[in-house]
């Protein structure tokens, strides 16, 4: 098949733009280097995401995904919220303020596939598409296509869209002339954009991460990542990471938000996204008191739904435990009616029927009440049998006090905000 280039290639690009994609680039499937995927997995930085470990060979060899594939169409969807309140809040990962993009972007990918069939006499087996789920090297290929470069935060950074692109990939057997990658005076032999190509000496993403998850430029330890802990971790969040989670109840954008390249970014057209910005209006007490029917109603078709209610309550307990240090969720003083409601909700959650929630509720109460939590939790503790929750009690009831009631956690002493 003759390689698609020139005017025909640009017509394809414009047609894909018309489907709602905010950036459209083309690349061949030459090896991406240097590629540290295997090393990343061997170091255990993938945490318990075994699906990443099990798909390494396919990610490194696209012929195992689509035999005979020779081109990748890289598609970017700008998800920067169009409302300032949604864009500026520090509670929810920005991508979660829409219906699940896997579903809405998939509709655009299906139309893109039909477009290839109609224009280039391809069959359904001549292409394959994914939106952030398949065994493909999205960010590496996106960088190779010139859509942006991989920043020191490991994410794709675009000159136009900043850090706010969701990536979709369409592999095809149709040869398409590749777009050039971004270059920065690296000579004529340069074929791939290197890590941090346009980051210069900036390391804000590394320095601002409260859990030190970026262990070196471009290398993220998921075990330490707030997004992993609040979304992918289905169990107990390690105690030493909870304070660093701060206000973030689902996902984290810190290493994205601090990037200077975002100053050029504008909200996208959102043709392939469905806004659900009203979620940011939820208060902490709303979530701590949430029942399953309300959870299903609010988060229907949203990414948060796959966390399940128990995961959201777990995360809400951690956020509550950080109220002294963080004002984002705080509505009033701890001794106000609102504050008393938070404490009462946490005491109830210390007896919640899902064991995963309970140690985080215990942790939050000790963080907020200090030694007074012993009395508040006496009934819950008396019937506790879960090992992780009992360990939380043991941790706090040991030699943890400076004087009669002040816990040794970092931050303000046992005041009421």
Torsion sign over Cα 124, 129, 133, 134 = positive
Lookup result for tokens 């699906």: 51
Give the H or E element holding residue 220.
strand 219-220
Q: Hey, what are 264's tokens?
A: 């050029």
Residues 195, 152: contact at Cβ < 8 Å? yes
Secondary structure class of 88 (helix, strand, coil): helix
The one catalytic residue in 28, 48, 132, 391 is 132
Cα distance between residue 147 and residue 160, in whole Å: 9
Q: What share of the chain is helix, strand, coil (3-state, %, to 5)?
A: 45, 10, 45
Residues 363, 392: contact at Cβ < 8 Å? yes
DSSP-derived secondary structure letter, 228 = I
Cα–Cα–Cα angle for 202, 208, 209, nearest 5°? 120
Secondary structure class of 289 (helix, strand, coil): coil
Lookup result for tokens 């074929």: 191
- In the residue annotation, 132 being an active-site residue is answered as yes
Cα distance between residue 61 and residue 35, in whole Å: 12
Cis peptide before 213 (omega within 30 of 0): no
Give the residue ranges of DSSP H helices in 43-183. Answer: 50-53, 56-60, 84-88, 101-120, 138-144
Active site residues: 132
């Amino acid at each position: 098949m003759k390689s698609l280039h020139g005017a025909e290639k640009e017509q394809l690009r414009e047609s894909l733009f018309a489907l709602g994609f905010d950036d459209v680039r083309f690349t061949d499937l030459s090896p991406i280097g240097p590629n540290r995927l295997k090393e990343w997995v061997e170091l255990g930085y993938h945490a318990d995401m075994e699906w990443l470990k099990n798909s390494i060979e396919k990610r490194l060899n696209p012929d195992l995904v689509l035999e005979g594939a020779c081109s990748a169409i890289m598609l970017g969807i700008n998800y920067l919220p169009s409302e300032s309140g949604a864009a500026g809040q520090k509670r929810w990962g920005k991508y979660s303020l829409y219906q699940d993009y896997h579903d809405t972007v998939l509709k655009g990918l299906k139309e893109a596939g039909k477009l290839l069939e109609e224009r280039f006499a391809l069959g359904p087996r001549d292409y394959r598409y994914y939106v952030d789920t398949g065994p493909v090297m999205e960010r590496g290929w996106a960088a190779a296509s010139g859509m942006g470069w991989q920043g020191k935060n490991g994410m794709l950074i675009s000159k136009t869209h900043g850090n706010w692109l969701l990536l979709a990939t369409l592999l095809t057997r149709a040869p398409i002339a590749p777009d050039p990658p971004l270059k920065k005076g690296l000579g004529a032999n340069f074929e791939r954009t290197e890590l941090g190509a346009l980051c210069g000496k900036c390391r804000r993403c590394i320095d601002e991460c409260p859990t030190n998850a970026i262990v070196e430029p471009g290398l993220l330890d998921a075990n330490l990542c707030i997004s992993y802990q609040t979304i992918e971790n289905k169990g107990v969040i390690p105690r030493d990471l909870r304070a660093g989670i701060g206000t973030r109840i689902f996902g984290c954008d810190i290493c994205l938000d601090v990037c200077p390249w975002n100053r050029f970014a504008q909200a996208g057209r959102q043709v392939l996204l469905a806004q659900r910005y009203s979620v940011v209006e939820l208060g902490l007490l709303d979530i701590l008191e949430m029942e399953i029917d309300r959870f299903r109603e609010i988060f229907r078709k949203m990414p948060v739904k796959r966390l399940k209610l128990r995961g959201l309550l777990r995360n809400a307990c951690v956020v509550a435990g950080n109220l002294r240090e963080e004002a984002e969720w705080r509505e009033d003083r701890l001794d106000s009616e609102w504050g008393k409601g938070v404490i009462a909700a946490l005491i109830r959650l210390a007896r919640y029927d899902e064991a995963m929630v309970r140690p985080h509720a215990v942790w939050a109460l000790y963080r907020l009440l200090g030694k007074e939590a012993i009395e508040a939790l006496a009934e819950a503790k008396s019937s506790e049998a879960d090992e992780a929750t009992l360990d939380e009690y043991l941790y706090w009831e040991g030699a943890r006090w400076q004087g009669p009631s002040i816990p040794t956690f970092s931050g303000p002493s046992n005041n009421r905000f």
